[in-house]
Chain A
Amino acid sequence: MEPELWRRVEELCQRAMELDPSRRAEFLERSCGDDKEFRSKVESLLAQETRAEHFIESPALEVMGRLIASDPKLKDGEEKLIGSTVSHYRVIDKVGGGGMGVVYKAEDTELRRFVALKFLPQVLAQDAQALERFRREARAASALNHPSICTIHEIGTHEGHPFLVMEFLDGVTLKHRIAGRPLETELILSLAIEIADALDAAHAAGIVHSDIKPANIFLTKRGHIKILDFGLAKRTPILSGIGQDGGTAQSSATAEEHLTSPGTAMGTVAYMSPEQSLGKELDARTDLFSFGVVLYEMATGTLPFQGQTPAAIFNAILNETPAPPDHINNEIPPKLADMISRALEKDRDFRYQSASDIRSELKRLKRDTDSSRSATANAITASGRAMASSSAPSLAVPPGKAGKGKRALALASFAVLLVIAVVWGYFYVRASRTASKSEQKWEQLTFFTDSAVYPGLSPDGRMLTFIRGSDTFLGPGDVYVKMLPSGEPVQLTHDRLFKLSPAFSPDGTRIVYGTADPWDTWEVPVLGGEPRLMLPNASSLTWIEGGKRLLFSEIKSGMHMGVVTTDEGRGESRDVYLPAGERSMAHHSYLSPDGKYVLIANEMNEMAGVIPCRVVPFDGIGREQWVGPPGATCTTGAWSPDGNWIYLSTNEGGRFHIWRQHFPGGAPEQVTSGPTEEEGIAMAPDGRSFLTSVGTRYWTIWVHDAKGEHQMSSEGDAFATTFSSDGTKLFYLKRTGQSDAAELWSMDLTSGKSERVIPGYGIDSIFRDYAESYAVTEDGNRVAFIKKDERGVSHLWIAATDHRSSPRQLASMENEDSPLFLPNGNLVYRASEGGKNYIFTRQPDGSGRKKLLDEAVLDLTAVSPDGRWIVVWEKDDADKDHPYRTKAYPNGTGKPVMLCAACLVNWSVDGKYLVIQFGLPNEKMSTYFLPVVRERGLPDLPPEGLSGPVDLRESHRAMLPQRVDSALGPEKYSYTITSIRRNIYRIPIS
């Protein structure tokens, strides 16, 4: 077509499109007259109008991405490697992929260690330029030999494809670790010092990383830093020390977010320096700015420069001053806040000029912070009073030179400490023996204002180890050791990772402890030192048979955890106890002193409910036997040294107390009682006392409104609040006295008066969580709640709130719980079936029971007030990187919507807001009230869901200490405050 003709066609076409389609024919008739050819050109063009709306709306890059993804050649090539042997590396699994490299975990069959292999992606394998770049990067990265920079072992070739062999890193990226929550100051400082040190080394070699961000900073399990991906790195023009072709380097191990996450560019922008965003020449100070952004994020959990588009972020970087970090998180020392502000100076001349500058300031601050806290040094000052004056000053060794000197010092101090402890111990034992007979006094051994759990004793009974953390089963915390009775506690780990079950080695020199997900066993020397992975896939490990064999829990597959015994090299493995059900987990095991029986504690059934303890024969021959109060949750245990008694912690009667039972053939009897709770048992070698973690927990309910925070309960434990749909009443559960079952109450918010809703009926918890144990209909006339039968199986009950009829149980064989109501009064709930959990529905009279979703789920999270969406929490075991996901399923047909990986989700009572929370309860939780788009019933969310609070704008956000139980909107919501305090006590046995 000639351009001139086209102009006429187009013009007519445009004008026709402005008209209603019904009038177009007449218009063309008039305009074209007899020129049939011209008219048909216009008409055929107009015919494309509807199709054109969606045509090439998704950009070419995406189209090509889909093409590549559907190309079977690529997938095959990459998957073929797994299981094969490359050189002397056995490829185990793919751990990350994309960009300029696909990374596999492999085993070095000669050196018997794990390594990471990085191959060029198939897309680039034939590309000569890419190959050359790959090699250059390898060379440059290996030039940086520093403990905090990922090490390149070698570069090899496999079937013509070059690959890098790198150190395998086990842990998470800093991005993962931060996840929208501020880190502890102590941790920030220790990580920051390592980052500064690595940057200093790179800068000294003339290499600027230029892409410093949390996704490129790896946090190993041992709590150390590794900087990854020198992919953008380049030599500074001033200090070009390596040859011309050494310009870039790339190293990356399991930084999956960096390699594959959406919005990577956006992520990168937020950490850029002003000079970088202006495209100016870069130098080392650029990294220091980005480092400042990382520090800011570690300190506050949020980014200093934010915006919806790269341009908006650039604008913030160039023109805006972020809020001082200590205004956002008041736990940040002002000195650190000042340092961060200085690193974020827009003009690089005003910033720190070198990484070593910032490192020395960080170290100074760490020293000042440490000295005001308990540390190895203070242990000596406190327990060895007379010695204090001579040993304390020598601790002023500059931290940079600490290494061997500090270790030697620690050893020397420890010897002193032992002498003192023995002397003290002698007097103590004399004193306490006389005291214990007359007074039966509990002796407090730790004095934390927060919480210490999981006591463990050294074989001689003189040293105590424990986890300083608030969860008696599993939670973030660190391992401590303490000389008994009165040494200062010494912190041995510094990573706040999830831990459980610390125990001494038979010779008393090491402490082993478990970590969770992966469930591994680590060991750390009692005298302090680097924690080391002792045994993967092993938890709650103890030595048996005089130290020759091990007893521990092992994941058999998926979520099935059993108890096994092996020799010290993990040979001669034998299953001791495998719980029934492929999602059941037996967490703790204790061998009887005669070696014949194993006490199993904290056994979770398929509903994650902890069941009573049991005793099983060690050799597998003979019968199993339940011990302790039937039906009660049993979490920890121990044997008396003579093997005649089993000690247990169970929640029979509502609170966790220590019970014991003569074995074999006794009845359970309660040992401790009262308002406190006791869990974790370490038996003294002489059998005259045991150590346990004694704690108090209180729950109070609160309402937040425009006027502030209001405590609504004043007596008993109150929790699990729900507003009535009109907002005039607050339902809540309350426990008083010793009863485990909670009663449902409702409070009139105008008068403040409370009354029981279903008098005489107690409501049971789901694994100590009551949040999902009841629901009220929109009209407030009916309540659904759960009660457990004598077997511990939970059932749904329905009650009318007008008390006219008595509550009824809905018949079920297996567990049914987490009831929620649809607007039509039908129930949606979770039920187990064949070892998996599913979402079911039934009518309030119990009829019409049917499965609502075909997919197995972990948990039912929420149902939207309009009944359109059902939110569940799922785990996809096939997705190793991000197995957990919270998804909204339409109630009916349609596609599910990804909400987030790990977050709490609920609707406001009126359905106008979706409340999303990130973070752990008891710590600060980023809480968002996202307005719901009415047509959809959900707020606007990124299609791949929220990866964390950083995806969301600050508006509608609140930092709350607790999860929101129920919300009327952003201005009014209710929550429960838990106050926990635990310390280790010695309790004499009478």
Chain B
Amino acid sequence: MTDSPTHEVTQLLKAWTAGDQSALDKLAPLVYEQLHRLAQHYMAGQRPGHTLQTTALVNEVYLRLVDCGQVNWQDRAHFFAVSAQLMRRILIDFARSRGYQKRGGGLFHISLEDAPSVCSEPDPDIVALDDALKELAKVDDRKSRVVELRFFGGLSVEETAEVLRVSVETVGRDWKMAKMWLLQELSERN
């Protein structure tokens, strides 16, 4: 059964966690697919909404991977951690390759009618955010992982707590503090 796609993807996931860059290239299309679907929604003037939608999408990526690979359902935490890293990497690469970044970083608005009502805070430049997050990792690694899991991985506070094996309260505090830290960092860069 070594030739089955199942095995292949399991290998890919393992390879990725071990630092094999080619694994990333193979998994990126799955994320692109979700991205495109989401983008289509916005283009059609629909608002995918809040957590449910994103959770559903992240879950779909997850399901595709689970479906293709023998990732153990019990080892959700591991998967979430991997998938958040994966998402982060893929999204940042994507944004860079398409020039979706503002010179000097910071924040920018999307000129979509519906966007402002989704969140009152403008969408961040995620390339700049990624850089800031790297800085945060140097000062407080756990907080940077909270952001990675919550923002890039789309996880809830509870799921994040599960992955990091800390209490929900801790994640809540970390999340808030990390956001403040990142905002300050980004405003300093501007």
Q: How far is the CB of A592 from chain B (nearest CB, A)?
A: 49
In the complex, A74 Cα to B44 Cα: how many Å?
A: 13
The answer to whether A22 has its CB under 8 Å from any CB of chain B is: no
State whether A61 touches B58 (Cβ < 8 A). Answer: yes
A-facing mask of B25-42, CB < 8 A → 1, else 0? 110110111111111111
- Interchain CA distance A303-B122 in the complex, whole Å: 39
Given the known inter-chain contacts A54-B121, A235-B4, please indicate yes or no for A262 contacting B56, CB distance below 8 A. yes
Quick one: given A61-B57, A64-B35, are A944 and B179 in contact (CB under 8 Å)? no
The answer to whether A123 touches B119 (Cβ under 8 A) is: no
Task: Say whether B124 contacts A63, CB under 8 Å.
Answer: yes
Instruction: Say whether A33 faces chain B, with CB atoms less than 8 Å apart.
Output: no
Tell me the nearest residue of chain B to A1, going by C-beta.
B139
A957 within 8 A of B: no
Question: Which B residues are CB-close (under 8 A) to A276?
Answer: 67
Q: Is B78 an interface residue (CB 8 A)?
A: no
Do B56 and A68 touch across chains, with their CB atoms under 8 A apart? no
Q: Inside 8 A of B69's CB, which chain A residues have their CB?
A: 279
- Of A13, A48, A58, A60, the most chain B CB neighbours within 10 A belong to A60
Contacts of B58 in A (CB 8 A): 59, 61
Q: What's the least CB distance linking A897 to chain B, in Å?
A: 11
Question: Which of these, A244, A259, A265, A879, contacts B60 with CB under 8 Å?
Answer: A265
* A3-B140, A264-B56, A276-B67 known; A59-B29 Cβ under 8 A: no
Chain B residues with CB below 8 A from A6, complex form: 139-140
Task: Give, as a whole number of angstroms, the nearest-CB distance from B8 to chain A.
Answer: 8
Given the contacts A67-B100, A259-B37, A56 and B110 also touching, CB distance less than 8 Å: no
* A96-104, A148-156, A356-364, A459-467 - the one binding chain B: A96-104
CA distance A71 to B68 in the complex (A): 32
User: What's the Cα separation between A51 and B58 when bound, in Å?
Assistant: 26
Encoded as 1 (CB less than 8 Å from any B CB) or 0, chain A from 463 to 479 comes to 00000000000000000
Contact B46 A97 (CB under 8 A): no
Q: Are A895 and B119 in contact (CB under 8 A)?
A: no
Q: In the complex the two chains form, is B119's CB within 8 Å of A54's CB?
A: yes
Cβ contact of A52, chosen from B40, B50, B66, B179, cutoff 8 A: B179
B40:A260 contact, CB within 8 angstroms: yes
* A268-B42 in contact given A52-B179, A277-B73 (Cβ < 8 Å): no
- Could you say which of B48, B56, B110, B184 contacts A265, with CB atoms under 8 Å apart? B56
Q: Is B177 an interface residue (CB 8 A)?
A: yes
Question: Interface residues of B: mostly helix, strand, loop or mixed?
Answer: helix
CB–CB A237/B121 < 8 A: no
Contact A123 B36 (CB under 8 A): yes
B115 interfacial contact with A, CB 8 Å: yes
Q: Given A262-B46, A263-B56, A268-B63, does the pair A127, B28 have CB atoms closer than 8 Å?
A: yes
B147 at the interface (CB under 8 A from A): yes
Contact mask A44-86 → B, CB, 8 Å, 1/0? 1111110110111111111111111111001100000000000
Q: A70-B112, A99-B36 are in contact. Are A52 and B26 (CB under 8 A)?
A: no
Residue pair B63, A124 in contact (C-beta under 8 Å): no
> In the complex, what distance in Å separates the CA atom of A234 from the CA atom of B153?
27
Closest CB in chain B relative to A934 CB, distance in Å: 21
Closest B residue to A58 by CB, please name it: B119
Is A121 part of the contact surface with B, judged by Cβ < 8 Å? Answer: yes
How many A residues face the partner with a CB closer than 8 A? 79
Q: Which residues of B contact A942 (CB under 8 A)?
A: 49, 52
Q: Is A266 an interface residue (CB 8 A)?
A: yes
Quick check: is A392 within 8 A (CB to CB) of the other chain? no
Chain B positions within 8 Å of A210 at CB level:
67
B35 pairs with A123, CB closer than 8 A = yes
Q: Are B115 and A66 in contact (CB under 8 A)?
A: yes
B-contacting residues, A288-321, CB 8 Å: 309-310
Chain A residues numbered 812-838 whose CB sits less than 8 Å from any CB in chain B? none
Query: Which A-chain residue is minimally distant from B7 (CB atoms)?
Result: A237
**Pair B56/A67 contact, Cβ less than 8 Å:** no
Q: B171 CB to closest chain A CB, in angstroms?
A: 14
- Whether the pair A14, B49 counts as a contact (CB closer than 8 A) is no
B73 near A130 with CB under 8 A, answer no
Q: Are B37 and A129 in contact (CB under 8 A)?
A: no
How far is B53's CA from A237's CA once the two chains are assembled, in angstroms? Answer: 34
Whole-angstrom CA separation of A268 from B59 in the bound complex? 10
Instruction: List the B side residues contacting A272 at CB < 8 Å.
Output: 63
Q: Contact at A129–B63, with CB atoms within 8 Å? A: no
Chain B residues 9-38 with CB under 8 Å of chain A are 25-26, 28-29, 31-38
B91 close to chain A: CB less than 8 A? yes
A368 at the A/B interface (Cβ < 8 Å)? no
Q: In the complex the two chains form, is A263's CB within 8 Å of B53's CB?
A: yes
Q: Are A56 and B100 in contact (CB under 8 A)?
A: no
The distance from the CB of B96 to the nearest CB of chain A, in whole angstroms, is 12
Cβ B64 vs Cβ A232 within 8 A: yes
B152 close to A (CB within 8 Å):
yes
The answer to whether A237 touches B1 (Cβ under 8 A) is yes
Name the interface residues of A121-138: CB closer than 8 Å to any CB of B. Answer: 121, 123-124, 127, 129-130, 133
Assembled-state Cα–Cα distance A98/B88 (Å):
21
Q: Does B164 contact A (CB under 8 A)?
A: no
User: Bound state CA distance, A234 and B7, in angstroms?
Assistant: 12
Expressed in whole angstroms, the Cα–Cα distance for A100 and B87 within the complex equals: 18
Task: Decide: A124 near B1, CB < 8 A? Known: A59-B152, A66-B115, A262-B53.
Answer: no
- For B31, what are the chain A residues with a Cβ–Cβ distance below 8 Å? 61
Q: Nearest CB to that of B42 among chain A residues? A: A69
- List residues of chain B with CB within 8 A of the CB of A280: 70
Question: Judging by beta carbons under 8 Å apart, are B50 and A55 in contact?
Answer: no
What chain B residues lie within 8 Å of A52 (beta carbons)?
176, 179-180, 183
Report Cα–Cα, A98/B57, bound state, in Å: 13
Chain A's closest residue to B72 (CB) is: A279
The one of A55, A133, A240, A282 in contact with B183, judged by C-beta atoms closer than 8 angstroms, is A55
B106 on the interface (CB 8 Å rule)?
no
Residue picked from B39, B42, B43, most chain A C-beta under 10 Å: B39
Give chain A residues whose Cβ lies under 8 Å from the Cβ of B59. 265-266, 269, 310
On whether the beta carbons of B29 and A70 are closer than 8 Å, the reply is no
In the assembly, what is the distance between CA of A943 and CA of B53, in Å? 10
Q: Are B26 and A129 in contact (CB under 8 A)?
A: yes
Determine the distance from Cα of A281 to Cα of B72 in the docked complex, in whole angstroms: 11
**Listed residue (A66, A232, A263, A879) with the most chain B CB atoms within 10 angstroms of its CB:** A66
Any chain B CB within 8 A of the CB of A10? yes
Query: Given that A14-B173, A54-B119, A58-B50 are known contacts, is A268 also in contact with B38, CB under 8 Å in the complex?
Result: no
Asked if A937 CB lies within 8 Å of chain B CBs, one says no
Q: Report the bound CA distance from A807 to B154 in whole Å.
A: 61
Q: Which residues does chain A contribute within 8 Å of B40, judged by CB atoms?
A: 69, 97-98, 259-260
Inter-chain contacts of A310 with B (CB < 8 A): 56, 59, 63
Q: Is the CB of B180 within 8 A of A60?
A: no
- Hey, which chain A residues are within 8 Å of B95, CB to CB? 64, 67
Residue-wise interface mask of B (141-179) relative to A, using a CB-CB cutoff of 8 A (1 in contact, 0 not):
000000100111110000000000000000001001101
**Which residues of chain B are near A61, meaning CB under 8 Å?**
31, 34-35, 38, 54, 57-58, 87, 91, 154
A75 and B43: CB pair below 8 A? yes
The answer, yes or no, to whether A278 is at the interface (CB within 8 Å) is yes
CB distance from A45 to the nearest CB of B (A): 5
Report if A247 contacts B (CB, 8 A).
yes
Q: Indicate whether A248 reaches chain B with its CB closer than 8 angstroms.
A: yes
- Judge whether B110 and A279 touch: CB under 8 Å: no
Apart from A98-B37, A279-B69, A943-B50, what 13 extra A-B contacts exist at CB < 8 Å?
A: A61-B58, A64-B39, A65-B42, A65-B48, A68-B35, A71-B100, A124-B36, A129-B29, A260-B44, A262-B56, A266-B59, A279-B66, A942-B49
Q: What are 19 inter-chain pairs, A to B, with CB distance below 8 A?
A: A14-B173, A45-B180, A48-B180, A55-B121, A55-B124, A55-B183, A57-B121, A60-B88, A60-B154, A61-B38, A71-B98, A99-B33, A123-B32, A247-B5, A265-B63, A279-B66, A279-B69, A310-B56, A943-B47
Chain B residues near A (Cβ < 8 Å)? 1, 3-6, 25-26, 28-29, 31-44, 46-50, 52-60, 63-64, 66-73, 87-88, 91, 94-95, 98, 100, 110-112, 115, 117-121, 123-124, 126, 129, 138-140, 147, 150-154, 173, 176-177, 179-184, 187
